[in-house]
Structure 1
């Protein structure tokens, strides 16, 4: 039995979990554990956890961090108590061989306290804080979903740590044939995630007005429609404007489209660190901006459109999910797929 804990923020974590399943042997049972509802495409078991967060994210509960040891363990919180006890009962009943954690210091610690080995997917950004030091320190393997030769993606994990495995970025679209449908004139697709965005309707409208030769399609965000499968839209884009979330970057990379990357504010400088690493590498087809521009979009889009999207193979070569499966199976004591 393999467990996979899926963090509830945005849609990237659950999409990444689903990308792993096809690369595991058919006889391997996988249980998803999350406060998110079971995805329609998830063919295996799913343990629905009670939410552990409060309705008001700006009102910090009492002793939420246990003196800075954890990220979220508020004293006497019923959601936290229910979530942790449910995971403990599941561990006792199924005796999993390994639990993949993406991402929670608290869940990783709980699993390891039950004697279950943990494979932790690590996030970009500054992870030098005490909770991350604890959570990452107890993992059997640390999986980085980006290539080893792109520098400075994360702080807090030593590059020579023998537990660290770089699998490269991966997405649900890896291996899918490109959709070569043509568009009339240059076309930009804005890929806005479900995890929150500083992008405004006013800023988008201004960008459209000042780039009359470009057709804009907005997926998600304040002025767009959420599309469960954006593959066709991505493939038709001459340029994709995206935030710097890992899942969005992996999907743009799978489509091999040049991108304008506008990082959003996230804890631990996750997106800004990713964006800076992409820009500094020099091989990737990206133009990185500090923020969504007020003016100058024509020049930015034209500059991005000259880049060769094939350069994304450095970031996502289509084999990352298979490599993650190999790591998980190895820790579980199983042969590969």
Structure 2
């Protein structure tokens, strides 16, 4: 019987859950799988038979006293408020589950603290890698505590400041895109969406993890390029003073963003993992406008994309007509050949195969092929 694999899935946005489902689909049907998350609804309709464990949602839980609130956060941790029953319940539920199921591998997407908890609890853990300024003590300790890291992107997008010792224990799956349905042809995509065939189209899109695409800068873009059609997909952030233009249309939430990406001449989007890999799959000039994220995750990812020539990194939205005209001209001349290979259709399967191999290797004795106990000397410390 295969050792179970358990996943912790952060419930902010949809990306963590979608990535988990893409990988779990590729695991053998005989592999026991469980998912621990504070939002089980993210897995509604998932076709694979897995166990879902609901965790308390600790976001916004009040610290009961001022003195507890004033206690400093340890340098090796990021979010560990004191006195929260919901946090104790979460940790207990996780540990009880790992113990009851005799979990062989705990895949964490994402939490540095849970990587440390897993090591203390004697459960081998795999941490999903994300971009960002993560050289702090908490992230380095989590990397050190894990039995490996899984980077769901191409190794060419790795940051130069990621430590060599951590890189050596990291598996790069290639660009993992969680959207399975897509079109390659621009004409068929435009026809399916009812968009004009003979006009330059810029698609601006954002996912569910942030505040939405800022609408005011797009109104300036529409005025700067009146012959271009700007189409927005996903949530918008409006300030209330914007002037609408006929060449700026809002489509809101849609079921297949990949159709819009295929229909575009230029894509303007944030640096969310799946969005990036959808654009790389389609091969479209990409203006990457990172949203604010903890540890500058999206800024660093946009920098990595720009460094290999796969995108234009847009740290600040243009506020004037000439700025938009210059930006659009840069995008028109972007060589999309630099995007080639940054998306991998086998990424989810490669990630699943690697996780399967890790749990088998970790629990197999080299001589007999069966788990064997190894004596461990007691540590008086």
Q: TM-score, normalised by structure 2?
A: 0.79
Residue 181 of structure 1 aligns to a residue whose secondary structure is helix
Does the aligned pair in 2 maintain the 1:174–1:254 contact within 8 Å?
Answer: no
Distance 2:115 2:165 in 1: 21
Matches within 5 A, 1:155-166: 155-158=161-164, 161-166=167-172
> Is it true that 1:6 corresponds to 2:35 in the alignment?
no
> Is it true that 1:291 corresponds to 2:297 in the alignment?
no
Q: 2:22 is matched with which residue? A: 19
Q: 2:31 is matched with which residue? A: 28
Distance 1:239 1:254 in 2: 14
Distance 2:281 2:54 in 1: 31
Q: 1:205 is matched with which residue? A: 219
Shift of 1:315: 1.6
Seen in structure 2, the aligned counterparts of structure 1 residues 77 and 105 have a Cα distance that, compared at 3 Å, is: same
Residue 189 of structure 2 aligns to a residue whose secondary structure is coil
Distance 2:179 2:293 in 1: 25
Matches within 5 A, 1:134-173: 134-152=141-159, 155-158=161-164, 161-173=167-179
Indicate the RMSD between aligned Cα atoms, in angstroms.
2.5
Residue 164 of structure 2 aligns to a residue whose secondary structure is coil
Distance 1:159 1:250 in 2: 27
Q: 1:104 is matched with which residue? A: 111
Does the aligned pair in 1 maintain the 2:183–2:258 contact within 8 Å?
Answer: no
Distance 2:19 2:163 in 1: 21
Shift of 1:113: 2.3
Does the aligned pair in 1 maintain the 2:19–2:178 contact within 8 Å?
Answer: yes
Shift of 1:241: 0.5
Of the three residues 200, 225, 233, the one matched with 1:186 is 200
Deviation digits for residues 251-289 of structure 1, max 9, x if unmatched? 22222222101122222121111111211223x2x2221
Seen in structure 2, the aligned counterparts of structure 1 residues 207 and 256 have a Cα distance that, compared at 3 Å, is: same
Distance 2:131 2:336 in 1: 23
Shift of 1:236: 0.9
Distance 1:40 1:87 in 2: 21
Distance 1:175 1:199 in 2: 24
Distance 1:239 1:64 in 2: 49
**Which ranges of 4 or more aligned residues in structure 1 deviate by more than 6 Å?**
none
Greater shift in the superposed pair: 202-211 or 264-273: 202-211
Gaps of 5+ in 1: none
Does the aligned pair in 2 maintain the 1:117–1:331 contact within 8 Å?
Answer: no
Shift of 1:313: 2.8
Deviation digits for residues 203-240 of structure 1, max 9, x if unmatched? 22222232211222212232552234312111111111
More RCO (CA 8 Å, sep 6+):
1
Structure of larger gyration radius: 2
Does the aligned pair in 1 maintain the 2:150–2:170 contact within 8 Å?
Answer: yes
Shift of 1:300: 2.2
Residue 149 of structure 1 aligns to a residue whose secondary structure is helix
Q: 1:234 is matched with which residue? A: 261
Shift of 1:82: 1.7
Residue 155 of structure 2 aligns to a residue whose secondary structure is coil
Seen in structure 2, the aligned counterparts of structure 1 residues 304 and 221 have a Cα distance that, compared at 3 Å, is: same
Q: 1:89 is matched with which residue? A: 96
Matches within 5 A, 1:65-84: 66-84=73-91
Q: 1:251 is matched with which residue? A: 278
Distance 1:79 1:322 in 2: 35
Gaps of 5+ in 2: 238-249, 362-381
Distance 1:124 1:146 in 2: 10
